[in-house]
Amino acid sequence: MSPLSAGVINETQKIILKKKASVFLFFSAVFPVGMAFIFSLLQSKSGVTVVAGASFPLFILGIVVNFLLPLLIFMTASDLFAGEQGDHTLKIVLTRPITRFKVFLSKNAAVGMLIAIHLAIIFITSVISGLFLEGGGNLLSGLWEGIKAYTVSFIPMISLAFAAVFFAQFFKSATSALTTSIVIYLCTKAIPFIFPWLARLLPFTYTDWYSLWLGHTVGIGNIFQAFMYLLSYSILFFVGGFYLFDRKEL
């Protein structure tokens, strides 16, 4: 096994074994179930369809990529970098026979693995839960749309992860890094409401990129433009994050 593969496995295990990660995994599994139960009660009492079963996975995805996954990403990146530097365990990691770049890359890959796991879990549970809502019988006919939306959502989420890792390099406390990342994210989300023309230029406004892929007519031009923005931000944050990581004196 190569040092990089071993590093990715080690970092992924390190994340999953933490109690907060286990709580998030459990919440990811039960969140769609809980939402489906609430909507089922509302529909049975009011007679009004709040969310149709066929569109339930996409409804859940909209909440997940804007709130749940960003929080998970910020928390994980803060723990892996600022948290480990603060409790001096990062120094131990860097004494292993592996370059700093491979350590940095393995940590980012572990965050990416976690994102993929959560998206898969949420998709499966939201599909199953949607079957029990009104209109759930039509859910399987739109299954491809759901698979496509959840798959492409990985791209803006990993871009967000690179940004969170970059911000974490400025701190030696996981709490400070987490708080700062959340504040920056919320400000970036709020700015387009005041200055709409800035929406295309801000890195965190593409969390709902999956919506461009839905429907029978896909706007290739809009998708490509958004992808290039995401790619550019990803490269900048990744390179900037590694530069700061490589210059750390532990």
pLDDT for the residue 173? 93
HSE (side-chain half, CA atoms, 13 Å) at 128: 12
- Alpha helices by DSSP H, listed for 169-219, are 174-194
- The stretches in the chain having pLDDT less than 70 are 1, 47-50, 53, 135-139, 141, 215-218, 250
Looking at residue 126, its pLDDT comes to: 94
pLDDT of residue 199: 81
Find the helix packing angle between 154-168 and 220-246, rounded to 10°: 30
Query: In this predicted structure, what is the pLDDT of residue 216?
Result: 58
pLDDT of 47 reads: 66
**Domain layout of the chain by residue ranges:** 3-246
Tokens 């909507």, residue?
39
Closest CA to 139 of 56, 28, 35: 56
Query: How high is the pLDDT of residue 136?
Result: 61
Instruction: Check residue 18 and give left, alpha or beta (phi > 0: left; psi -120 to 50: alpha).
Output: beta
Q: pTM for the complete prediction?
A: 0.93
pLDDT at 33: 94
pLDDT in the model for residue 242:
97
Maximum separation of any 2 CA atoms in the chain, in Å: 64
